[in-house]
Structure 1
Amino acid sequence: MKKYFSLIIFLLFFSFSFGQKKFSTNELLNIYPFNKTSKVKIISYNTDFVSEFPTPLPPVGKDGDSTIIKNIIANQTFPIKLKNILGNENLKGIEETKTLNFVEIFELSKLLYNTCGKFSNDMREVSKCFFPRNAVLFYDENDKVFEFLEICFECYRIEYTSEKSLEINGLCNDFYFKLENLFKNNGLKTQHNRNY
């Protein structure tokens, strides 16, 4: 009896792990934010910034400060915060952008919602890294961004504008690889520009 019980448990686990329900075409077109979108753009930004200083800072002098550190701070430019520039019409700070056509938008929706299957995604990976260099912008009929997904391909994490996007499930092996390829195939950078 124990063998049959163990076999049933294994089969249930196996079917849950590999048989995740996928969204239908109709569901994909009616799921938020795609159901309110008139235009979708993918973008890259912050590709010239490292997420931390590449070399250790020099030691602080006897007076509690260093001229070198003061110069670094005075000349330091900081990465953009996407939410701070989305209100600007020129979107200064965004390096590359691509407006997706209908077929590409549909492919993006399949990638976001069907790659790992349809199930609740309440688990969140926590990483100190999160330094987004890419995003997906969703525009309404008034050509205003109402939702965006910031993506860090270095730590494999997405942050959402609103809790409505929680149906996105990025908890399988090839999700971020496929998403990064979508950006690269459209000519957008996804990593820091290493000039050394």
Structure 2
Amino acid sequence: MRRIIFFVAILLLVCCKNENVQQSLESEGIPIEKSISKIINKRDFPIKKFSKIELVSYYNRVVWDTIKYKGESASYKVVVDNYKFTFDSTMIQERVILNKSQEKELINLLISDTCIPQEMEAGCYNPRHMILFRDEKNRIIGYNEFCTSCIGSRNSSNLEGFQKYCYADMAELFRKFGIKLFVEYGDGNGAKEYNFFKSKGFN
């Protein structure tokens, strides 16, 4: 009995120590990677010569993006070609340029295969967020557009097949970096989006 009590006491001490270490690191500003699942693999990021990373948000692009590109509609078309958007960029609501520390945190999530088990992709696609990689001339050389509600994405060819992070983790990072436009059905923001579309003539 004494031996069992001894082992339980040791286990409690170890758990408390680990928790204190994590709290200490967080208090010092060192980010602790948190995910709904574990990292099983890390890969090299394929875009090597980007100058800056920009996060953008907009209301559901599929509703207002009426510009077809190379015969493809909003849901399926390439959204950046020849360094430029193939949609009306004036519809972008928020822009955030990341600092170097934020860039490292974002890249760390991008290169980590964190979603095990994988999030289930729905049959819809309502994109509201995009990551842009720009070169020294401010040209867009890579992008990752995604839909957190439908669990889907569109990527530039140099990022095709690369995305394996959890969308919930990326949404949390966007919020942390200052993006506020998120529409979760039932949270009241759906009405804001509807009124925005109505004001622009989209019913």
Unaligned runs of 5+ in 2: 1-36, 67-73, 193-203
Match of 1:157 among 134, 141, 152: 152
Counterpart of 1:100 in structure 2 is 98
Q: Where in structure 2 are the equivalents of 1:74-153 lying within 5 Å?
A: 78-79=64-65, 82-83=79-80, 87=84, 91-116=89-114, 127-153=122-148
Residue 182 in structure 1 maps to residue 176 in structure 2: no
Q: Where in structure 2 are the equivalents of 1:23-34 lying within 5 Å?
A: 23=43, 27=44, 31-33=45-47
Q: Deviation digits for residues 5-42 of structure 1, max 9, x if unmatched?
A: xxxxxxxxxxxx9672334xxx4xxx222x12101001
Q: Deviation digits for residues 84-129 of structure 1, max 9, x if unmatched?
A: 8x737x9311100100011111100111111528xxxxx9966431
Counterpart of 1:168 in structure 2 is 163
Q: Is the 8 A contact 1:32 1:164 kept in 2?
A: yes
Bigger Cα displacement from structure 2, 184-193 vs 100-109 = 184-193
Unaligned runs of 5+ in 1: 1-16, 52-77, 118-122
Q: Is the 8 A contact 1:125 1:157 kept in 2?
A: no
Structure 1 residue identity aligned to 2:183 = Q
Would you say how many aligned residue pairs link Structure 1 and Structure 2? 137
Answer 1 or 2: higher relative contact order, Cα 8 Å, separation at least 6: 1
Structure 2 residue identity aligned to 1:190 = F
CA distance in 2, matches of 1:156, 1:181: 14
CA distance in 2, matches of 1:19, 1:138: 24
Secondary structure (helix, strand or coil) at the match of 1:167 reads coil
Q: Is the 8 A contact 2:151 2:167 kept in 1?
A: yes
CA distance in 1, matches of 2:53, 2:38: 30
Secondary structure (helix, strand or coil) at the match of 2:46 reads coil
Secondary structure (helix, strand or coil) at the match of 2:111 reads helix
Counterpart of 2:190 in structure 1 is 194
Secondary structure (helix, strand or coil) at the match of 2:168 reads helix
Q: Is the 8 A contact 1:32 1:165 kept in 2?
A: no
Q: Is the 8 A contact 2:38 2:114 kept in 1?
A: no
Moved over 6 A (4+): none
Secondary structure (helix, strand or coil) at the match of 1:194 reads helix
Counterpart of 1:20 in structure 2 is 40
CA distance in 1, matches of 2:175, 2:159: 27
Structure 2 residue identity aligned to 1:194 = G
Secondary structure (helix, strand or coil) at the match of 1:105 reads helix
Counterpart of 1:42 in structure 2 is 55
TM-score computed with the length of structure 1 as normaliser:
0.57
